[in-house]
Structure 1
Amino acid sequence: MNKLWIIALETYKRNIKTPTFFVMILAPFLMIGISLLGGVIGSKFEETSKIAVIAEDTTLRAGFSDQISLEVDDSVDTEEKAKKALENEEIDGFLVIRSSEQEPELSGEYFGESSLSQSDQQEVQQVLSMMQLGRVSQSLGLSTADVQKLNQLATLAVKTVEFDDGNMTDKQDNKVAQIFGSMFIALAMYIIILMYAQVVATEVASEKGTRIMEIILSSTSAAKHFYGKILGIFLVILTQVVIYFGLGVGGYLFAKKTDFVQDMLAEVSIKEMLGGLIGYNLLYLLLGVVIYTVLAALCGSLVSKSEDAGKAVAPVTYLTMIGFFLTMFLGMNDPQHILMKITSFIPFLSSFTMPSRIASQTVSTPEIFISLVVLLVTTIILLRVAAKIYRSTALVYSDTGMWQSLKKSISLMKSEE
């Protein structure tokens, strides 16, 4: 056991001292910053800075100009002027609103050298619809109060209940916190796995096929050396998580009195958020990171050069992306989809999809236990298989490719049995 911890600590110290570790700590913040910057720049480019509004009814024209957030050039009031202004690039486009005294319906037609952005188009559509609603209600003799009643949504109260000795009682519902927790788990696993998959594979493959490996294996077993490397990388991952936790606590203490944080806490409390992260979700996060780390190590053991580690972890990357995008596209919108139900029991994918089902309260406790047991047993089996494959390929000096190495390792394991 002492040799195991010596290998783990040596792997840990070597990795946290590298510039790559500090880059990985900053990577999520850089990704978020680049995404926000890209969104801001994109929205600026999509903006329509100035338009003209043409309508025979001057009341309609004035009403539309007052309600729209786009800049309207009031000096352009005819189609001929609008066409000339568009040709001279004085405006970005013009909207023609058509109406009749006999019919209250409105129709609009936009002209421009480039199309309206999606957000601007929705806003124009919304303003025209509101103006049309006012004209229709006026033609029907409806008052403002009548129109408000027509637009008022029906009240719907959703309660979760439980039964105790045949009596139905209200059950505390922390669905918002659970959804937050499931999204956090999916995003955290996605980032951690993609950042560390190649690191794990490189670490495992770095000493393979060298004379140094012969010296190492003379003092310890290949399996213990393999387990030590995985444990060391896992400690590096825990260190990064602890750093993020400390930064999160510090950020909260610094910004807890801001309006944004207060508005967020009005929807869900800190206690509920933490409740959504611990329990089953924390188990899925832990087991998910472990099983993907073991898979990355297995892939790394199949190559004889650390330079090939990037290619070796392709299966890890693909599985991670499948699980993450399933959660983002189906987990948030349709957690009862058949794909969500099936993958919530499949190892590697269940770490992503089952927390979404738990958040939507569409899964029973026995199903959660079955999913966790399957995930845990698969992780243990995969760890043992990966150690055996590493032992059979540790002193391989020739590069025969991943699949050939895997076939050879499987045949060796069968012969040992």
Structure 2
Amino acid sequence: MKVTKFWIIVWEVYKKNVRSMAFILMVLSPILIAAAAGGIAYFVSQTATVPEIAIISKNQQVIEALSSSKGEYTLNKKITTEKAAKEALKKEDLAGYLIIEEKNDTITGNYIQSTTSDAVDTTLITQLLTAIQTNQVASKLGLSQKDVAALVTPADVKTTTLKFENGKEETNQATDAMIKRWSAYIVAFAIYMFTLYYSSIIAQEIASEKGTRIMEIILSSVSATQHFFGKLVGILLVCLTQILSYALIGTIVYQIGKSFDFMQEALKGIDLFALLKGLIGNSIVFFIFGIMIYSILAALLGSLVSKVEDVGKAITPLTLLTLVGFFGGMYGFATPNEPLVKIGSYVPFFTPFMMPFRIASDTVNSTGVWASIIIMAVFTMICTYVSLTMYRSNVLIYSDTSLMKSLKRSWVIMRNEKTKQS
């Protein structure tokens, strides 16, 4: 019978929140934003025009070489003088014009554009002019094309990070490290958003029942322990539903979108399997513990107030801790080796935000990772025990005093009850 009552509480909390407009908007808002961004990107790519430029030069070879470029710009061959080019630019018939001069085997170019012109990437122009200049000098020196190719071939430099784990050497490519770091960023941002939302929800759940005196009726048929865990499990199931919704929608969007050219272009060079592996690895453990710690403490803080209107003030400490953790994680994203980040990654409130970045940058070994997980697990159990004990003491106490006074009084009541039992 007790189990049945527990699941009734879970189901009611779950049903109420999943059907709420706030939850629906919470689920749909990232999807709508992503869809809008994708639509804008697609529209821009379809309507984008290739800028037209003119080249002013006496060297026909240079003009022909520059006109061979496709996609970056088109060449207006009718305009051959600076005066005509400037007039066309004034009328906005040109995006710009390039004046090329040659002196002492050196080619110089001056690209002129107006403030309203379409932007032209001059990097390609610079590369083409450099190649022409190199060939001209090589020809004068009597060098073959093979000699020129050997001279201009750039050195090949790769970045490999060595990681020493249990005395063994492991390699980590720069691309893998970047994927891990962005996976950590996604997890940190998700924890930040989910923590703020669900901490508020669970605190409101308890405060609303307490404020309307319904709590007295509820606790006459179920224990405070069942009520506490019922609310907590119900909210965590709502959180799980939201995550699964994103996973399902993301899979559908990917399957449909990968047939479009612009989606293929956007995903080019991105290893989705490696990205998902980074998200589902250790990061999911920190995500779960982070949500649990903040939700448990939110339930306690929600039981300290007598009105829903006071929930915002009650969970302010949690909100501040979340902000510190999130911005600490962003700081760790840039500087994972800083002592402040290393210390903060073992503080349970901040571990979910900071430790994923340290793992991604390989600045912590497996012993450190497991130590942080154990610390979080122990801290979660302590939080659960303390919150549940204090919840039993104050859930039926109504007061308009400050949060600290309510917390202190709850602590005194809890100690008195323990003294009576002993």
Pairwise TM-score range, normalised by the shorter structure = 0.7 to 0.9
Say which of 205, 210, 213 aligns to 1:203.
205
**Aligned counterpart, 1:153:** 155
Q: Is the 8 A contact 1:96 1:108 kept in 2?
A: yes
Equivalents in 2 of 1:95, 1:281: separation in Å?
Answer: 52
Tell me if structure 1 keeps the 8 A contact 2:163–2:171.
yes
Q: Which residues of 2 match residues 323-342 of structure 1 at below 5 A?
A: 323-324=325-326, 327=329, 330-331=332-333, 335-342=336-343
Indicate which of 64, 73, 76 corresponds to 1:70.
Answer: 73
In structure 2, relative to structure 1, the CA distance for the partners of 1:30 and 1:320 (3 Å cut) is farther
Q: CA deviation at 1:152?
A: 3.2
TM-score normalised by L of structure 2:
0.74
**Could you tell me how far 1:235 is from its partner in structure 2?**
1.4
Deviation at 1:145, TM superposition (A): 3.8
**1:366/1:17 CA distance change after superposition, 3 Å:** same
Alignment counterpart, residue 241 of structure 2, candidates 235, 239, 242: 239
Kindly tell me: are residues 185 and 148 of structure 1, through their superposed partners in 2, closer, same or farther at Cα, counting changes over 3 Å? farther
SS in 2 for 1:218: coil
2:317 & 2:36 partners in 1: Cα distance? Answer: 27
Aligned to 1:410: 408
Q: Taking structure 1 as reference, are residues 375 and 399 closer, same or farther at Cα in structure 2, changes over 3 Å only?
A: same
Which range moves more in the overlay, 387-396 or 97-106? 387-396
Structure-2 residue corresponding to 1:189: 191
1:81-100 paired onto structure 2 within 5 Å:
81-91=84-94, 93-100=95-102
In structure 2, C-alpha distance between the alignment counterparts of 1:372 and 1:76, rounded to whole Å: 69
**How far off its partner does 1:135 sit?**
0.9
What corresponds to 2:361 in structure 1?
360
Q: What corresponds to 1:6 in structure 2?
A: 8
Number of matched residues? 404
1:112 corresponds to which residue?
A: 114
**Aligned residues of 2:96 and 2:114 also touching (Cα < 8 A):** yes
Confirm or deny: 8 A CA contact 2:53 2:73 kept in the other structure. no
Deviations 1:32-86 (A, max 9, x none): 21333455567899x7863433433454445434326134544444343333333
The secondary structure found in structure 2 opposite 1:86 is helix
For residue 32 of structure 1, what is the amino acid of its counterpart? A
Q: Which has the larger radius of gyration?
A: 2
Q: What is the rounded CA distance, in whole Å, between the counterparts of 1:194 and 1:39 in structure 2?
A: 30
Contact 1:104 1:132 in 2 (8 A): no
Do the aligned residues in 2 keep the contact of 1:16 with 1:236 (CA within 8 Å)? yes
Contact 2:96 2:113 in 1 (8 A): yes
Distance 1:72 1:145 in 2: 30
On the 8 A contact 1:201/1:301 being kept in 2, the answer is yes
Question: How far 1:233 sits from its partner (Å)?
Answer: 0.3
Q: For residue 377 of structure 1, what is the aligned residue in structure 2?
A: 378
Conservation of the 8 A alpha-carbon contact between 1:50 and 1:73: no
Find the aligned partners of 1:114 and 1:127 in 2 and give their Cα distance.
Answer: 21
Provide Cα deviations, 1:349-383, integer angstroms capped at 9, x if missing partner. 32133223223333112211221122223333334
Identity score, percent:
33
Partners of 1:12 and 1:235 within 8 A in 2: yes
What secondary structure is seen at the aligned counterpart in 2 of 1:289? helix
Identify the residue that residue 420 of structure 2 maps to in structure 1.
Answer: none
Give the structure 2 partner of residue 293 of structure 1. Answer: 295
Question: Would you say 1:213 and 2:211 are equivalent positions?
Answer: no
Q: Specify every segment of 5 or more residues in structure 2 that has no aligned partner in the other structure, as ranges.
A: 416-422
Give how far 1:287 is off: 0.8
Name the aligned partner's letter for residue 7 of structure 1.
Answer: I
Counterpart of 1:138?
Answer: 136
Contact persistence 2:390–2:414 (CA under 8 A): no
- The two structures, once aligned, show a CA RMSD in angstroms of 4.4
Residue 264 to residue 89, structure 1, CA distance change in 2 (3 Å): closer
Give CA deviations for 1:379-414 in whole Å, capped at 9, x if unaligned.
Answer: 3333444445655654565655xxx22343134414
Stretch moving more, 299-308 or 130-139: 299-308
Equivalent position amino acid for 1:138 in 2: Q
Question: Counterpart of 1:83 in structure 2: which amino acid?
Answer: K
Residue 17 in 1 paired to residue 15 in 2?
no
Match of 1:345 in 2: 346
The residue identity in structure 1 corresponding to 2:27 is I
Change (3 A) 1:293 1:104: farther
Distance 1:66 1:390, change over 3 A: farther
